Every structure is written in C-alpha cells, then in structure tokens.
C-alpha cells in the first residue's frame, strides 16, 4: 500500500520525538531526585505532593489568574475588531485578516522586547508622559504583573480575533436585522442574538489564548518581576537551574493535564450534541 510508505516516516518521527518524550516526562514525574541532581528511578508521588507547597500553589494560581485576565482582555478587545472584519466587504476582509495575522508571525522575542523598550523606567512611555507633564517622576511599569498581562494580550490577540471572525462571519445577518426590527436594544441584540450564535468561536478563541498564556515562558521571563513567575518559568527553573528534573516533570504533567482537560471540555461543549447546536 503506497499510502503507508508515505505516511510511515512522518508518523514514526512524530511518535519518536513527540509521544515518546512526553511519555518520558510522565514517567520521570514519578521518580525521585538524586543527591546531585540526577534521576533516581522509583515510584513515588513525592513530586506531586510537593506541588501542594504554598510556594508552588501560589505560582500555579497566579498563572491561572494571569492567563484568565489575558483571555478576558483579548475577548473584550478582539470582539469589536472581529465583528468589524466580519461585516466588511470581502476584499477588505482579506486585507484586515492579513493585518491581524502578520504580527503573530513575527518574532515573539522581538515583539516582547518592543514592550520592554516602551515600558521600562527610562523607556518611551515614561519619557513621553514626563515631557507632557502628566507625571513628574517615572513610574515603574516594567517587571510587574501588569506588564506581563500587556505582553500576553499583545502576543495572543490574533489567536482570539481569528476564530471570532470565523464565527461572526457565519452569523446570519437576517437574524440580527430581525432583532433590530423587533426594537431590540443594541445590548439585547449583542447579548441575546450575536453572542449566543458566535459561542463556538468565542470558546475556541478563549481556549487558543488561555492555553499558551498559561504555559507562557518568555513574556513573564522578560516583562515580569521577581514575583510574576508563571508555570512555564517554574518548569524552566526546575529543569535548568534547580536541576530537579522529577519535580519539573511533575509540574509539566500537571500543566499538560490541565491543557488536555480544557481541550476535551471545549470540544465537548462545542460538539454537535450540545445544547447550542440543538437550538439552532
């Protein structure tokens, strides 16, 4: 069968380098750390129990919080843009979508650096505000949770806009017009017609923003302060600095479990069997 000869190398490659390494992470998460940082093979839940320590629990909680705030902000900001694109003339839609995509395809490191340049104490924003006389002394913007959220929103906004656009573009205009004709207020129209119809897109967008925000490494690393550590930084710290691989693996597994759980839940909620689709 020709097809298997074509598929074979690629599938083997993905299995060997994606499935096997992730399984190794899972296995190692049950091992123990040796005195000098190596791995002592055993089966214990020590690493997972260690995660209950307030220090780790705090970082996990903070990551979820920052990712959630990022997601909400992306939704609030991205919705009008997606709606505008969905209602634009077809030619214009293409151009606008391209405009949304291009920043996403440019180097993430460099885009994060741009915010360091803007937010730092002697940065552009402070310089401008000082010149305009809005402030008298530079304000500390960089190295804070605020800066991290700005960086995350900036990085993942396109992930929100694209699925929202796809969903909003499919919304039947006649339904919106009907609501308008029936004297629905603008809010009622938004909340009771457009949002329910665009629900799959909203869910997909939220998921696509939440997951990478939760696992972010670069943004909190560059824009965050000593107290803005997120799960991604904790994993990196355990693997490369503390050299406690089993603990790092356990954190990775927890993150993975969380991500998979969210994906399953959203697939389920957006699947044809759910309430939303039955109603339409």
Stretch 56-115 residues interacting with other proteins (CB under 8 A): 77-78, 80-81, 83-85, 87, 96, 98-103, 105-111, 113-115
Contact call for residue 269 and other proteins (CB under 8 A): no
Q: Which of 129, 222, 242, 270 binds other proteins (CB under 8 A)?
A: 222
Each as own residue / partner, the long-range contacts of residues 264-273 (CB below 8 Å, 24 or more positions apart, any chain) are: 266/203, 266/204, 266/207, 269/203, 270/199, 270/200, 270/203, 270/204
Site for other proteins in 143-172 (CB under 8 A): 154, 157-158, 161
Report, in Å, the least distance between residue 245 CB and other proteins. Answer: 7
Contact window for other proteins (CB under 8 A) among 13-21, 50-58, 193-201, 271-279:
13-21
E-only strand ranges, the chain: 32-33, 39-40
122 forms part of the interface with other proteins (CB under 8 A): yes
Residue 263, interface with other proteins (CB under 8 A)? Answer: yes
| 48 is a contact residue toward other proteins (CB under 8 A) | no
Contact 123, 142 (CB under 8 A): yes
Rg of the chain, C-alpha, whole Å: 23
Shorter beta-carbon distance to other proteins: residue 61 or 103: 103
Residue 266 Cα distances to 80, 192, 198, 272, angstroms:
23, 21, 14, 12
Stretches 40-48, 53-61, 116-124, 162-170: which one binds other proteins (CB under 8 A)? 116-124
Q: Exposed, middle or buried: residue 7 (CB in 10 Å: 0-12, 13-18, 19+)? A: exposed
Which of 205, 170, 176 has the alpha carbon at shortest distance from 188? Answer: 176
Binding piece for other proteins, criterion CB under 8 A, among 48-56, 196-204, 239-247, 271-279: 239-247
Closer Cβ to other proteins, 178 or 279, answer by number: 178
Q: Which of 133, 266, 275 is nearest to 210 (CA)?
A: 266
- Taking CB under 8 A as the rule, does residue 142 contact other proteins? no
Q: Minimum CB separation from other proteins for residue 83, in Å?
A: 6
Tell me if 114 sits within 8 A of 133, measured CB to CB.
no
User: Which is closer to other proteins, CB of 29 or CB of 145?
Assistant: 29
* Helix (H) or strand (E) run with residue 179 in it: helix 173-181
- Residue 40 β-bridge partners: 32
Q: Which residues pair with 32 in a beta bridge?
A: 40
- Cα–Cα distances in angstroms (integers) from residue 157 to residues 4, 81, 100, in the given order: 39, 10, 9
Q: Is position 176 an interface residue for other proteins (rule: CB under 8 A)?
A: yes
Site track 177-196 with other proteins (rule: CB under 8 A), x = hit: ---x-----x----------
Shortest distance, CB of residue 113 to other proteins, whole angstroms? Answer: 6
Tell me whether residue 122 or residue 275 sits nearer to other proteins (CB atom). 122
191/275 with CB nearer other proteins? 191
């Amino acid at each position: 069968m020709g097809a298997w000869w074509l598929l074979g190398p690629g599938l083997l490659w993905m299995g060997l380098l994606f499935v096997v390494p992730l399984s190794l992470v899972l296995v190692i998460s049950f091992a123990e750390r040796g005195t000098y940082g190596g791995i002592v093979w055993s089966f214990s839940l020590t690493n997972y129990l260690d995660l209950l320590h307030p220090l780790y629990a705090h970082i996990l909680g903070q990551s979820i919080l920052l990712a959630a705030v990022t997601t909400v902000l992306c939704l609030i900001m991205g919705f009008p843009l997606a709606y505008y694109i969905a209602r634009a003339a077809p030619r214009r839609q293409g151009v606008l979508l391209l405009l949304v995509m291009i920043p996403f395809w440019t180097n993430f490191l460099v885009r994060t650096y741009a915010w360091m340049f803007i937010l730092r104490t002697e940065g552009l924003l402070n310089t401008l505000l000082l010149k305009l006389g809005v402030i008298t002394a530079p304000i500390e913007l960089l190295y804070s949770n605020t800066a991290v959220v700005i960086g995350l929103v900036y990085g993942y906004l396109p992930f929100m806009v694209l699925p929202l656009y796809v969903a909003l573009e499919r919304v039947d205009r006649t339904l919106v017009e009907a609501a308008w004709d029936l004297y629905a207020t603008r809010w009622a129209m938004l909340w009771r017609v457009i949002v329910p119809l665009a629900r799959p897109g909203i869910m997909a967008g939220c998921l696509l923003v939440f997951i990478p925000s939760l696992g972010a490494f670069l943004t909190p690393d560059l824009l965050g302060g000593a107290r803005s550590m997120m799960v991604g930084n904790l994993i990196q710290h355990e693997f490369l600095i503390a050299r406690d691989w089993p603990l790092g693996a356990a954190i990775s597994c927890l993150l993975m479990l969380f991500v998979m759980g969210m994906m399953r839940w959203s697939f389920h909620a957006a699947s044809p069997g759910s309430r939303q689709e039955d109603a339409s």
